[in-house]
Amino acid sequence: MTDTTNSWFNAGPVEAFTGQSFTEISIGKTKLAISHRDGVFGAISNVCNHAGGPLGQGRLDGDYVVCPWHNWKFHRMHGKGEPGFEDDAVPSHEVKIENGRLWVNTVPASARCKKPHAPHPLARPVKREPGGIRVVGISTTAQDPANPRYSTSEALLEVAVQHVQEQLKCETRLLKLSELKFRACEGYYSKSAHACTWPCSITQMDEADQLTPVYEALVHWADVVLLATPIRWGQASSLYFKMAERLNCVQNQITIQDRVLIQNKVAGFIITGGQDNIQGVAGQLLSFFTELGFHVPQFPFIAHSRGWTAEDMEHNIAAVQHSAELRQGACALAERAVSLAGSLLKTNAPGDKTERGGRKAHRLEIEKIP
């Protein structure tokens, strides 16, 4: 049995802990979350079992502490998980009040217990399976699937995907974001870089979220990604940005672990719309996808727009529907992307580590000098 005779720590005057639900304290290397509710104090580890979130920055749901990162719950007194998850527990600590001071026993009254959780299928090692070149088309057009309309960018994407399937014998998939029900990014990265996990926290917590096929295709399955977007007020579609925000979990692995999930993959883009700003939209797509780790072929996008003054979308649709040149351009873009992907797969050049100087979230050594 552990000797607790001299293990009590004077945390401070009681009134310092009564004005708020939580107070975070550190005793050496031990981080604790002191809670106060209805005149009763509790003390548990400040480190969540899931991803290390600071429990003392969370909120109370009755007597359960809700982690601010991913909403895991632990009882503020005994540290056990919420009903049904009691096998997940964080250490709890005894507390007492003497002479107006709050004392905390530094020896845990209960141990940390982590219930085994099967890893999410997306968390498996990134390893390309044998086979021919695989191409995924992603349409970001926003529309009602029950009442579909003609989308010029989606139509050209379908032409490109069909071409590589029939003429180049590639395996293909076509994903339409309008047919997938997925939640918007909920800003875990804004809480802490380490709260933005791979796989995405939402994907891990919400089985109904349907962005998994996109993650599966981009990280594990595809060699080539062909993305199509309309122009909306000079920008890519709203669904594109909704997807892109959720893809921050892929880029964040580079930032926090120097782990590049996207290896030897190629991206190409199809941009159409009744408005202008093609180059601005293309610049955003190129910047984002290359930051994820994608390569791009020579002339990495094709585009069509009737410009700012042409507010006649029926003519824009007709132009795309009857243009053999745009179809040929879409096929040629796909061929360039497949060709580059083939070259990359032959070399199989490793790229899992990057020089950090000048990269996102890397402070130069000279900036670290006091």
Residue 247: both structure tokens together: 């893809």
- Strand-pair partners of 89: 80, 113
- CA 14/CA 103 separation, integer angstroms: 9
Q: Where are the domains of the chain?
A: 8-105, 121-352
- Please tell me the distance from the alpha carbon of residue 44 to that of residue 47, in angstroms, as a whole number: 9
pTM to 2 decimals? 0.84
Strand intervals (E) in the chain = 8-13, 22-27, 30-37, 40-45, 59-61, 64-66, 73-75, 92-93, 95-98, 101-105, 134-139, 171-176, 224-230, 266-273, 301-305
Distance separating alpha carbons of residues 160 and 227, to the nearest angstrom:
11
pLDDT by residue for the chain (370 residues), tens only, comes to: 344 568 999 999 999 999 899 999 999 999 999 999 999 999 999 999 998 999 999 999 999 999 999 899 999 999 999 999 999 999 999 999 999 999 999 999 999 999 888 899 999 999 999 999 999 999 999 999 899 999 999 999 999 999 999 999 999 999 999 999 999 999 888 888 888 999 999 999 899 999 999 999 999 999 999 999 999 888 999 999 999 999 999 999 998 888 999 999 999 999 998 778 999 999 999 999 999 999 999 999 999 987 766 666 667 788 899 999 999 999 999 999 999 999 999 987 665 567 777 777 677 777 666 6
Top-level class of domain 8-105? mainly beta
Domain 121-352 of CATH type 1.10.3090.10: no
**132 vs 342: CA distance, rounded Å:** 9
